[in-house]
Amino acid sequence: MVIEVKATITGNVWKIVKEIGDTVDEYDVIMILESMKMEIPVEAPQGGKITEFKVKEGASVIEEDVVAILE
């Protein structure tokens, strides 16, 4: 089952804290977005294994953009 991880705000990808292949639990922080000098964590909506990142550090995202894929 494919699980899409979506950006919660419009901003920039400040830091990706996990790697492809990492197993995460629900609410684990996958990456951190920066918006208006605030850091906002992007959390896993449920547990799974990270199979793909759709963005790189420094990329701009808008709210609801898919930023990672879990299985």
CATH of domain 3-70: 2.40.50.100
What is the average per-residue pLDDT within 20-44?
A: 97
Q: How far is CA 23 from the centre of its chain?
A: 14
Q: What is the DSSP letter of 65?
A: -
pLDDT band at 59 (very low <50, low <70, confident <90, very high): very high
Q: Model pTM? A: 0.91
Q: Quote the CA–CA distance of 42 and 5 in Å, as a whole number.
A: 8
- CA-wise closest residue to 27 among 44, 49, 48: 44
Q: Average model confidence (pLDDT) for the chain?
A: 97
Show me where the domains of the chain are located.
3-70
Question: How much of the chain, in percent, has pLDDT values that exceed 90?
Answer: 99
What is the average per-residue pLDDT within 27-48?
A: 96
